[in-house]
């Protein structure tokens, strides 16, 4: 691993931070609305839906942040894609397992559970849009130009003959 950083790292950190704050707010609001709509089952269904959406959405950002630690290494591209693809496969497997476990449980109100997941995903997408629009990143980032890496001795005209 190298000490170099990727310009997307602050964007992903900001997204994860704001997503955590909004998830906490959605958990409170969702559980209150779920309780008012469907009693205690609605409360637990809303909490489960918000938590499920938050975990799945955080896995992608977290996997990219972990993969970015190899930036500058010769293995950066294969490690990056292995970690991100592994995160997506993990999300798929966990999603299927959770749905199989939650399906038919007496405490699940399907409507409240579904609405909580949809609202959480929409809130996360809105956060992503706001963070991306407010970040000040150059259009071409993480690029090294040919003259940036060489020392002054390697540049033309800097040698003893002046060429």
Q: Residue 158 belongs to what H/E stretch? A: none
* Tokens 């950083």 found at: 5
CA distances (Å), origin 121, targets 2, 3, 27, 49, 158? 34, 33, 13, 10, 57
pLDDT digits (tens, 9 = 90+) for 84-110: 899 989 988 988 998 899 988 999 999
d(CA 46, CA 98): 15
Each domain of the chain, given as residue ranges in start order, spans: 9-130
Tokens of 51: 């938590």
d(CA 103, CA 97): 10
pTM strictly above 0.75? no
pLDDT digits (tens, 9 = 90+) for 55-82: 988 888 888 889 988 888 888 899 999 9
Contact 74, 20 (CB under 8 A): no
């Amino acid at each position: 691993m190298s000490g170099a950083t990727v310009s997307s790292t602050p964007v992903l950190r900001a997204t994860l931070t704001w997503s955590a704050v909004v998830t906490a707010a959605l958990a409170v609001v969702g559980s209150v609305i779920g309780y008012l709509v469907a009693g205690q089952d609605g409360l637990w269904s809303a909490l489960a839906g918000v938590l499920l959406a938050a975990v799945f959405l955080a896995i992608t950002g977290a996997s990219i942040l972990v993969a970015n630690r190899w930036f500058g290494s010769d293995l950066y591209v294969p490690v990056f894609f292995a970690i991100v693809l592994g995160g997506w496969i993990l999300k798929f497997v966990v999603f299927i397992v959770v749905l199989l476990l939650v399906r038919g449980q007496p405490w699940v109100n399907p409507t409240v559970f579904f609405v909580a997941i949809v609202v959480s995903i929409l809130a996360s997408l809105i956060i992503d849009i706001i963070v991306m629009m407010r970040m000040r990143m150059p259009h071409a980032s993480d690029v090294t130009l040919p003259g940036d890496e060489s020392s002054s001795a390697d540049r033309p005209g800097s040698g003893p003959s002046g060429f």
